[in-house]
Amino acid sequence: MQRRAYDCQAGCPVESTLQFISGKWKSVILYHLLEEKVCHFGQLKRDMKDCSTRMLALQLVELEKDNLIQKNIYSKEPLRTDYTLTELGLTLEPVIRAMSDWGDKYNQLNND
């Protein structure tokens, strides 16, 4: 998907950011990569049980195209890959951490 930079009124920087992390799974993938530093596809699949294999693969491809993650192939037979955050992906750490903190507080309020 072609991403575009916004030059408009207030709120557009948020819209610009959401282009990259919107969707149910992208932020979750980024969170796991922040926590683990390196993740294999199978590890992400286990951690994200409700995400289908196809959806996980699609989200990883989009994150890679957006230069937020890097796919590392270190064995062709059998195919072995892992994923890491790029420098650009690491700049999202404060955003993902804030989302995690907010989610923890929300869950605590609703579990009491």
Please count the structural domains in the chain: 1
pLDDT value of position 14: 82
Tokens 């969707």 locate to 23
Residue 13: is the preceding peptide bond cis (ω within 30°)?
no
- CATH of residue 77: 1.10.10.10
- Residue 105: partners with Cβ closer than 8 Å, 6 or more residues away: none
Residue 3 falls inside a structural domain = no
> Would you write out the chain's pLDDT as a tens digit for each of its 112 residues?
556 665 666 667 888 888 889 988 999 999 999 999 999 999 999 999 999 999 999 999 999 999 999 999 988 888 889 999 999 999 999 999 999 999 999 998 888 6
**Which residue range(s) make up the domain with 16?**
12-111
2 occurs within a structural domain: no
What pLDDT score does 100 carry? 95
Residue 1 lies in a domain: no
Please report the pLDDT score of residue 104 as a whole number: 93
pLDDT at 62: 96
